[in-house]
Amino acid sequence: MKVSASLHAANPLRLSEAVAAVAPHVGSFHVDVMDGRFAPAFGCGESLISRLIAAGAPPVDVHLMIEEPQRWARRFAGLGARCVIFHAEAVSDPLAVADDIRAEGSLAYIALLPETPIARYAALLEQVDGLLLLTAPPGGGEFNKAALARSHEAPKGLPLIVDGGLEPRHFDSLRSCSVELAVVGKALFGSRDLGDRAKRLDLLASGVAASTS
């Protein structure tokens, strides 16, 4: 398992420094695009995403926590994102959105809110590239253990991202659920030494080091 750094939690006044410090130790940058409607907050914009992608490794995953993601998914995929993640609950034809994303060369992942049963989208999950499970309310909140438990219902082999209130103490449970990427925000960017913290979290996520928190 690798850590995906949630840039929404980084200090916007020192963002370039934060990106440079954590980049060698994370599997991807996770960028939330929020419209203040689907999620009660506002996230990163197109300009930032474009600059991150142009800078090279690590890859960028774009999480659309917005209403009508079908209007914007292709545009963000066209920037060169590794994957574009959209909420199945926000669209009437998720397969059409997935096709638009793939047409631009990105992977198409769907996301599910903490209370959404996986069984509701079982057929869809057989036709997308991956799944993101929110384990906290959109925009932030406390980790919801029951929301993670749904992971056992996901199709075997489907790449899985978990996002929401994650701390190092959750990593053992995430690995047991075959999680590929753990999206970490405050637990990473709340540190004074971001490079050291990112390196430590990478070791914890991979299971090389044992968590004490």
- Tens of pLDDT, residue by residue over 132-181, are 999 999 878 899 999 999 999 999 999 999 999 999 999 999 999 999 99
Superfamily of domain 2-206: Aldolase class I (3.20.20.70)
pLDDT value of residue 95? 97
Annotated catalytic sites, by residue? 32, 163
User: pLDDT tier at 66 (50, 70, 90 boundaries)?
Assistant: very high
Res 117 pLDDT > 60: yes
Q: Write the DSSP assignment of 19-47 as a string of letters.
A: HHHHGGG-SEEEEEEEBSSSSSSB---HH
Q: Where are the domains of the chain?
A: 2-206
Q: How far is the C-alpha of 151 from the C-alpha of 133, rounded, in Å?
A: 8
